[in-house]
Structure formats: structure tokens, C-alpha cells
Amino acid sequence: MMFGCTELKKCKKQLAEMKSKEEKADNKLEKLENQYGSKEWAGYDTGNVARLSDRYKNCAESDEKDKIVATCEELDSLSSTIDSFIENEYALEVFKVYSKKKPKLVRISTDEVYSWDDAFGTSFDKIEKGLRHSLVGLVEEPTRYRFK
């Protein structure tokens, strides 16, 4: 799935919009949980939204269970979309901009200084998905590294 993110500003805006939708879905789920039961009975916490535990099968009317399961599926879908966007498009744009500038980076956990190439290398395709989130963290909210 491509989002057409071609500039850091556009990427930042797209991510904010997606996270806003995710937050709305999470709030909707929280309201349903408060009324009818927990995420666990909808299978949300296990990642299998179709499987309801025996303990909660009869705790709400069928259409209410369907609402909760649908909201869980929506939330899972939004989360997957956000991860895909971060890992593929937003991280690529951050890499394109900063791999040319090669700023010094500080590893947050140790305060050690790293070169750009030591932290992220020279090829975007070789960066593992988890580290791609750290690329986006440089311009959003630092996770593994921050600019020196």
C-alpha cells in the first residue's frame, strides 16, 4: 500500500491523521468495553479477533459482540496500516533526507555517539523493520537514537 508520502512534512501529517483515526477507534472500543466487556473476550489481546473465549461468549447480545469484534478488527487494521506506512514510506523519506547530511546520532540508552552509517548504514533496503521505526523516531519522537 503506497500513500504518496514524498516529503517529511507530508509524511508527518499523514501519520498524525492515521494515529487520530486509531485513537478514535481505540476510544470507541473503550466505550464498548465499559458497556459490554473487555478486549480479552473479543480476542483482541490474542490477536485473533474471531475467537471468543468461553468465559465471555454470553456476556452481551450478539450484535454488541459484533460491534466490539468489528472495532477490534478496525483497530488492528489501522495499526497494521500505520506500521506499514512507517516502515516503508515515512522511514524512506527520513533516510533520503538525512543519509545525505549524515548527522551524528546519540544512542538514547547509552548516550554513545554514532555516525549515521554506523546506526543505519548506506542502503535503506538493508535496514530491518524495527530500526526503520527508529528512523521515523528521529523526526517524530526519539526511540533508539536522537540527533546530537
Express each pLDDT in 111-123 by its tens digit.
999 999 999 999 9
pLDDT exceeds cutoff 80 at 58? no
| Mean pLDDT calculated for residue range 57-64 | 50
Q: What is the pLDDT of residue 38?
A: 54
pLDDT exceeds cutoff 80 at 23? yes
Express each pLDDT in 67-116 by its tens digit.
777 777 888 888 889 999 999 999 999 999 999 999 999 999 999 999 99
Long-range contacts of 11-16 (CB under 8 A, 24+ apart): 11/89, 11/90, 11/93, 11/94, 12/139, 12/140, 14/85, 14/90, 15/82, 15/85, 15/86, 15/90, 15/136, 15/140
97 to each of 92, 100, 144, how far by Cα in Å?
Answer: 9, 6, 19
